[in-house]
Chains A and B, each alone.
Chain A
């Protein structure tokens, strides 16, 4: 009983973090059709920025926002000057984004060394909620709260603002959107920067929980992929549902089927793809 409750709460916490990681990935993929293989690198680099700010005594949330802003600039520059030239060419995009993943990974190793970094949980969020002898770390609950707030903000943006309308138009049919006067190219840069910022923000929020170390980038990338595969690309709701699904699958799967630990995420992903290639919430893309 205790075990299951702990797992359930933790599933939601992990799901929240995964949503922050994959929402940007999903938007980028849905709108621009770019398989952004440096998304895990954005997460890791953002986390490194965050721990650096934190080690200078900065406020936790400020560090997360600042790291997100820095990554927005980096992501925007990469999109504007390099990815832009490869529009519609998936393979060159794969090579470019993987190339940057290598570069970011190696630079991070050079700057932050191979040692793991784990910032302390922010002082006011330390401790745990004790209910019926069970421990629920406050920080993880806050993580869920942050994810929900950001999900709502993104949803409001996509569904209720002009920018959101343009994004939706772009996802549905980019050429037509262009014809009706939407500046798709600016939109692309903006969305890419936003996706990068979200990943970096997630990296900082996740740092007290996951820590930061070399190789974190390629641990997070497959998770973002799986979420988007399960949820379907370009759909925020899909990313949200996919994230929590993965959160539960991961927690309960590891506990109940230890022999399947390595494939606990990829097996369902395979099943979904084979049975419903467009993802659980995706639309059929020709």
Chain B
């Protein structure tokens, strides 16, 4: 089996498992968990565009995530339809991401991180304080989920499939993005900022567009979140959420497509499933992070791949040695 065939088989198998998931996990509760993993994965993938490919670490993405959720929730509460609410949410997210980007791009490195953190905290503060708009910590209830093309998303299965479609679209977009010339130039700004400048690239603009792209997908994840929970409150915009998304990306492996998805899976499963069996799940989550980073500083997915290759090489060289030994013995 060639590497290409192997890869094709793996992708087909994964897709088949994802599509048939409601049939084999058994309980709608687990279908819901799968939906949560998928929309957090979308969010982690969108942050990964910045962290992994642009070298810009944001601790304010929860603010953008919440912005989309609030925009949709407020539109619906005002009596508008789902289509308009979603459209409006995406416009609001893009607009606020643009402001976010202009402010944050005053710096790179740790400065960028701090600016995004401050912006995230300010959005959180507004969500709390501007109670006449956001209803403060009482939050906003979203009474119905949309029914695109007449398909209801009210059930766990329906919502899962909708989320899966969006997730696959995200992954496809990310693949195109990474392989595109734009993706290459973004990586260039990460590794060789000065050279890119000298080559005539507008580094600022490239980063700005990358943030917009990331913000848009974060907003889409935020929309899925608000429709899933049918509730939004300031907790969503808190620093903890931003940190969690970042942890998903780093623990899974930055700059990879699978890493953030795996990271999202770990965090969601620990928080929601493992916590039912282990009271000290926060401790376990912390230990998992420490262990991952101690043995695989590059993250779980690239780290596993490295260890796998390493093991395989060892195995191969041992086999080779055995064969050579046998051959030399035979001769």
Seen from chain A, the residues whose Cβ lies within 8 Å of a Cβ on chain B are 35, 82, 85-86, 89-92, 94-96, 98-103, 105-107, 110, 218, 222, 225, 229, 259, 261-263, 266-267, 269-270, 273-275, 277-278
Contacts and interface: CB of A to CB of B under 8 A. Distances in A.
12 contacts: A35-B113, A94-B246, A96-B290, A99-B287, A103-B283, A110-B280, A222-B239, A262-B122, A267-B122, A269-B118, A270-B103, A277-B106
A262 B129 CA distance: 8
B33 interface: no
Contact of A92 (B124, B240, B246, B250): B250
Contact of A96 (B107, B128, B280, B289): B289
Contacts of B121: 222, 262-263, 266
Given A261-B129, A262-B128, A274-B115, A98 B243 contact: yes
B294 interface: yes
Given A106-B280, A259-B129, A262-B129, A82 B122 contact: no
B293 interface: yes
Contact of B114 (A92, A103, A269): A269
Interface residues of B, number: 42
Interface in B265-321: 280, 282-283, 285-290, 292-294, 297-298
A218 B240 contact: yes
Contact of B293 (A90, A99, A218): A99
Interface of B: 51, 57, 103, 106-107, 110-111, 113-115, 117-119, 121-122, 124-126, 128-129, 239-240, 243, 246-247, 250-251, 254, 280, 282-283, 285-290, 292-294, 297-298
Given A90-B57, A266-B122, A270-B118, A106 B239 contact: no
Contacts of A259: 129
A103 B286 contact: yes
B126 A102 contact: no
Given A95-B247, A98-B289, 14 more contacts: A86-B293, A90-B57, A91-B51, A98-B243, A99-B285, A101-B286, A105-B286, A106-B283, A218-B240, A261-B125, A266-B122, A273-B107, A277-B106, A278-B111
Contact of B125 (A91, A100, A110, A266): A266
B51 A82 contact: no
A278 B110 CA distance: 10
A229 B117 CA distance: 12
B115 A270 contact: yes
Given A92-B297, A96-B289, A270-B118, A218 B111 contact: no
